[in-house]
Amino acid sequence: MRRALDLVHILSERLSVMSSEVISPPTLPALPEGVREGNEKLVSVTPAAGAKVAALIEREQTGEYLRIAITGGGCNGLSYKLRFTAKSRQGDILVRSGGATVLVDPKTALYLKGTELDYSAALIAGGFKFTNPNAKASCSCGESFNV
């Protein structure tokens, strides 16, 4: 019985020490000037896509950000463009999701809202895939769409 009481005393001391320590959450890097913080309501990156982005950033060594842009073109009118960049631009929206840091310009954000970026390593129909709730139609390859 004495041993059990000693154990309880030791545990309560450790808990009081642990509870008195201030544990601060990890701090995120400061936003570049002129860049706004966005969230996954704009674009979300799945863990599979985030892992692939991280591997490509390491391999390419061209920048730490993934820029998603939508441009005119493709068989359905609008086309997704992905590239790595080291710098943000004035007005960009930065989203941290799935282990990736994504930059989106304000014009692209209008078309991208609610989009999920996924990645599949499948030999057939593999690669990055966009699921965009704003798209009224998309081509069979999934690289272009219209609204």
Residues 44-66 pLDDT 10s: 999 999 999 999 999 999 999 99
The whole-angstrom separation of Cα 124 and Cα 20 is 55
Query: Are 136 and 147 contacting, i.e. CB atoms less than 8 angstroms apart?
Result: yes
Which segments in the chain show pLDDT lower than 50?
4-5, 7, 11, 17-20
The pLDDT assigned to 49 comes to 97
Residues 134-143 pLDDT 10s: 886 565 555 5
Per-domain boundaries in the chain? 36-146
Residues 6+ apart with CB under 8 A from 130: 80, 115, 116, 117, 118, 142, 145
What CATH superfamily classification does 36-146 receive? Answer: HesB-like domain (2.60.300.12)
The pLDDT assigned to 19 comes to 44
pTM for this model (two decimals)? 0.73
